[in-house]
Amino acid sequence: MNRVGLIDYGMGNLHSVAKALEHAGASVHAIKKPDDLQHCDRVVLPGVGAFRDCADALQNNGMDEAIKTYTSKGNPFLGICLGMQVLMDLSLEFGEYRGLGLIVGTVKPLPEGLPALGCKIPHMGWNDVTFANALPIHPVLSPLHGQQVYYVHAYYCAPTHASHILAACSYGDFPFASAMGYDNIIGVQFHPEKSQRAGLAMLKCFVNWK
């Protein structure tokens, strides 16, 4: 059974993510110390809350550098919602704050004009995951083709390199990255643990991803 480390930095919905991963066939272990990462086959960074608090928590106990070392060795890594956003260089959420820098780009607020179009901020609820027709679907995301997933966010990731966008979604007339990544790193803006069968199928693919 694959040993999946679930990073516990004092924020995030660990219980629901852990249960979803267990349902997907993983042996889940809460990770609170950087040294614990080396005992995991793959790692998940969940996230609910503010970017600054998440980044500070990871930096204060050295988990930020441990994550960089872990991913540099080719180990599978998944960031969920805020856990994807903190992979970026920079966030503009209530100021300017540095992230892990694993994906080049910036976390930005959803456009202020969306409510005038009937789209409340935060973007909350079920929405699409769309893929570019010319490109193969990432193996972790393959169960999401033609499905909807559950989003809760007021900020979005704007990667510098378009090749890092693995899937997209549109809220009103505004498109944003639904999933990003490269090599052994993947992040999703939605919550797979709240996305019922489609989300569980995606997590199962991550648990078995090589």
Q: Which residue is catalytic, options 123, 138, 164, 191?
A: 191
Active site residue 191: yes
Q: Which residue is catalytic, options 40, 153, 193, 205?
A: 193
Output the CA–CA distances (angstroms, integers) from residue 13 to 8, 23, 91, 149, 173, in the order listed.
9, 16, 21, 17, 30
Active site residue 123: no
Q: Which residue is catalytic, options 54, 81, 169, 205?
A: 81
Q: Which of 100, 97, 119, 99 is nearest to 110 (CA)?
A: 119
Active site residue 81: yes
Helix/strand/coil (H/E/C) assignment for every residue in 34-61: HHHHHHCCEEEECCCCCHHHHHHHHHHC
Six-digit token pair at 193? Answer: 């643990």
- Integer Cα distance of 110 and 172 in angstroms: 11
Q: Where in the sequence numbering do the catalytic residues fall?
A: 81, 191, 193
